[in-house]
Amino acid sequence: MDIFSNRPLYDPSAVQFMRDELTAIGFDELFTPEDVDRAINTNNDETVLVFINSVCGCAAGSARPGFSKALQNERIPNRITTVFAGQEKAAVARVRDHWLNGQPPSSPSAALFKNGELVFMVHRHEIERHDADEIAEHVKTLFDQHCTGVGPSVPAEHLFQVNHAKTCGSKIPKYEG
């Protein structure tokens, strides 16, 4: 097996619900390196959040719900996007290798960009051992400091209908297709 292929690590249907948690609240998915470049390489003084999604338990239990709650803030990024580690490998590699300026690989994680420059990054180690509310409060503070977009990303009643997964990625079957 070629571990460096661009084939998804997990069966796409098995992780779809993890994608849906983010797209339901306004995230745009970036599938290719070109999508990544178009999203980040802007010069319009607007902010772009790139959330590196993951199947790991801390993503399910804390990161996705925490960022979802943070996007209820009055100030949010102008654009919210996501790539999925282990799924769109080339897109994730483009974010990490080209745009994150030497930051260590980390998923789940999130990076905020303005005019193509990294403004801040929330690493996995800042997510682990924190619940969704703690993450949301931390991220809202960062949004207040750096963002000009108007929140929330979706009405609160819509957010409350989103079912956040509480599952560990180790239970998701590897993709054999």
- Summarised one tens digit per residue, pLDDT across range 3-35 is 557 788 888 988 999 999 999 999 999 999 999
Q: What is the pLDDT of residues 137-170, one digit of tens each?
A: 999 999 999 999 999 999 999 888 888 876 655 5
- Buried (b) or exposed (e) across 60-91, using 16+ Cβ within 10 A? bbbbbbbbbbbbbbebbbbbbbbbbbbbbbeb
- Name the one residue in this structure whose structure tokens are 């996995």: 124
Q: Which residue has the tokens 């990303």?
A: 153
Domain annotation covers residue 3 = no
The answer to whether residue 1 is domain-embedded is no
Give the tens place of pLDDT for each residue, 78-87: 999 999 999 9
**Residue 2 covered by a domain:** no
Q: Is position 176 within any domain?
A: no
CATH code (residue 148) = 3.40.30.10
> DSSP secondary structure string, 73-102?
SSEE-SEEEEEETTTSHHHHHHIIIIISTT
So which residues are the catalytic ones?
Answer: 56, 58
Domain tally, the chain: 1
What does the block give as tokens for 66? 């925490």
Q: Which domain covers residue 32, as residue numbers?
A: 12-169
Tell whether the model's pLDDT for residue 94 goes beyond 60: yes
Residues facing 110 on adjacent strands: 51, 122
Q: For residues 39 and 18, what is the distance between their CA atoms, to the nearest angstrom? A: 21
